[in-house]
Chains A and B, each alone.
Chain A
């Protein structure tokens, strides 16, 4: 097993599949009366969050606690280069406390890579800047596999602000590794340059959502911040929603079996309408549930729970 989980690229197909299979076993724990395993008893997991992210933090916290690990929540929000402790000093502090794993969320891309240089324990990237969010990609893959029975050969459209999306980068890498076909859809201003060369040569890019929808098994809507219009990525929220938002009529262009995903939090009325978000095709709530199982699997495997 790998030591750190910093990027979707850290996972080969076998490792990723092992995590998903382990997550499926972990999911059975959630159905029990006592939702707890002793696997990480005596181990310390630190949640180091430099950004507000209640949903990701509590997902990791629940995962660690269900494995009986000791959990320390270290909220460093407001810390920056000018204020507060440096990342290195924080890392040395965590090291001194004997953290076995550090789960880090940080506004700067690459911060988990830097952290991994300074601590002995495992580092799990819980979202870094506009770079990656690998456990989100794992839970998305888990959800697709659970709903559709497979990943190889699936056609997945990832729609929206790919440029600023760490979810998109991790999903492109992981889904490509697992044999799914990814199409990125959005206005050209929000598709980063040289994306295929950067991440996976086999991906497609389309600027036309309507033409893509009939051929996909999964459509994953990304959160789009309304403020992006202030930087001329698109003219207005209304025009964005009209061209790239998923509404009822667009949803009905999808094949019968296709599912709709969203990593949350949603901008209802922007990239997705309530009709779609609350439809039976939507897996949004399942994604949250699956997130805990997948993070249990990641912590369990990274910390060598299977060797003890």
Chain B
């Protein structure tokens, strides 16, 4: 294995120092290190963070390899500074058996660009009717701990209660896509002024808030862990704040796009801005940013959702919801939070790694820890060009926007997956 000496780098915003990486581990940290056998990476002006960890990625394989594969999604992730991603279960076939989650896990290992941790479906076929074999997935080589029907809400309260209870046996967690389906039939965008003006069926905030309120009570009742996917409303933040104050074991994530973009983006009817849950209002963004700062929202997760061109280049109502996120998430976080490196590390690496149980990830560079880290140039600015993304899909909502920060290098267990801003393989 090659050794790497990263010189004059700021570790999580600290004063410039050197990092020596050897045998997959961070060997030494300190100024003036010397290692004649090591490849030197000039870290001047760069910030080293523990490798980012995404709790919410759609890799589309198996089933929609035209939109993304485990390999292309892994490359996009590495270029975005990630060393681990949790792959959602809504593939085709659905990741609701040990066989499918092991396949995804193995494809991730073969790609070797990030650790791909499969998420298992809660219910068979995401149909919301009966539990999938959660224990078999937990015991499989993929060692699944997070279960989610993401894309669909586990709407049946009894089923949700059982799922929360059942996964206690193997310290599992249910990640809920909070959307009361009866309140969102045919919904196309946030219900409000803009949906009224555009004549698109509204997705009311209460459809999310009502499910979160129910689920935190269920989790409290059965003493289980609940994770709430892509929180998007100010009202959800308040429900979570109260639940956390009572000691409910709930965590929550917010996406980069819900921190930056509002429902007014729909005015063009360009479905690149169609996403579920939908883009909300400026007041929601303000509440979500505050919640991220004070910890009511624990994590930034991308909800990276690649879609083929024909699924977006059409009428709004016929388009699939979802947007790319892996290659732009750090830039959005930097834009929204500013250079609060410790907070960014907490929300994008340490906490998601802890929630997912990914030991070896989310650990700040220090002697003896696995060398999973990323180097960021905070002074760089880049204009997002869809054609230049590593994802197989092009549905970024940030096309032609200029965003701060650039990933210069990413290391997975001591080996670079990205150097000089380019993927190694």
Contact = CB atoms under 8 A, between A and B. Distances in A.
Interface of A: 80-81, 86-88, 106, 108-111, 113-114, 128-132, 166, 169, 192-195, 197-199
B196 A81 contact: no
B152 to A, nearest CB: 20
Given A86-B310, A86-B313, A113-B269, A108 B191 contact: no
A166 B198 CA distance: 10
B198 A110 contact: yes
23 contacts: A87-B314, A88-B314, A106-B315, A108-B316, A109-B199, A109-B269, A109-B316, A110-B198, A110-B315, A110-B316, A113-B268, A114-B270, A114-B316, A129-B199, A131-B198, A131-B199, A132-B199, A193-B193, A193-B195, A193-B202, A194-B192, A194-B196, A197-B193
Contacts of B343: none
Given A110-B200, A113-B269, A169-B199, A129 B193 contact: no
Contacts of A86: 310, 313-314
Contacts of A111: 269, 315
A127 to B, nearest CB: 10
A193 B191 contact: yes
Given A193-B191, A193-B202, A114 B314 contact: yes
Most A CB within 10 A of own CB, among B188, B269, B317? B269
Contact of B269 (A81, A114, A197): A114
A103 B315 CA distance: 16
Contact of B318 (A80, A128, A132): A80
Given A86-B310, A114-B269, A108 B192 contact: no
A40 to B, nearest CB: 29
Contacts of A81: 314-315, 318
Nearest to A165: B199
B202 A108 contact: no
Contacts of A193: 191-193, 195-196, 202
B315 A114 contact: yes
Nearest to B268: A113
A200 B202 CA distance: 19
A129 to B, nearest CB: 6
Nearest to A195: B196
Interface in B274-325: 310, 313-318
B208 to A, nearest CB: 16
A26 B7 CA distance: 79
Nearest to B313: A88
Contacts of A114: 269-270, 314-316
Q: Give the bracket for the number of chain B residues in contact with chain A.
A: 20 to 34
A166 B314 contact: no
Given A108-B317, A131-B198, A198 B193 contact: yes
Closest 6 CB pairs of A and B: A131-B199, A110-B269, A198-B196, A81-B318, A108-B315, A109-B199
Contacts of A192: 195-196, 202
Given A129-B317, A199-B197, 19 more contacts: A80-B318, A81-B314, A81-B315, A86-B314, A109-B316, A110-B198, A110-B269, A110-B316, A111-B315, A114-B270, A114-B314, A114-B315, A128-B199, A132-B199, A192-B195, A193-B192, A194-B192, A197-B193, A198-B194
Nearest to A192: B196
Contacts, number: 73
B313 A108 contact: no
Contacts of B318: 80-81, 108
Contact of A109 (B200, B268, B270): B200
B272 to A, nearest CB: 12
A189 B338 CA distance: 43
A86 B313 CA distance: 9
A280 to B, nearest CB: 34
B182 to A, nearest CB: 11
B23 to A, nearest CB: 53
A303 to B, nearest CB: 24
Contacts of A199: 196-197
Nearest to A132: B199
B276 to A, nearest CB: 17
B173 to A, nearest CB: 35
Contacts of B317: 108-110, 129
Contacts of A108: 315-318
Given A109-B317, A113-B268, A166 B199 contact: yes
Interface in B323-360: none
A109 to B, nearest CB: 4
Contacts of A80: 318
A20 B301 CA distance: 53
Contacts of B194: 198
B282 to A, nearest CB: 13
Contacts of A169: 197, 199
Contacts of B315: 81, 87, 106, 108, 110-111, 114
A157 B200 CA distance: 23
A194 B317 CA distance: 21
A87 B310 CA distance: 11
B150 to A, nearest CB: 23
A198 B199 CA distance: 10
A197 B194 CA distance: 9
Nearest to B269: A110
A155 B195 CA distance: 26
A130 B195 CA distance: 10
Interface string B184-213: 000010011111111111100000000000
Contacts of A131: 198-200
Nearest to B188: A109
* Most chain A beta-carbon contacts within 10 A, residue among B188, B194, B196, B202: B196
Nearest to B315: A108
Nearest to A118: B313
Contacts of B195: 192-193
Nearest to A163: B196
A171 B269 CA distance: 21
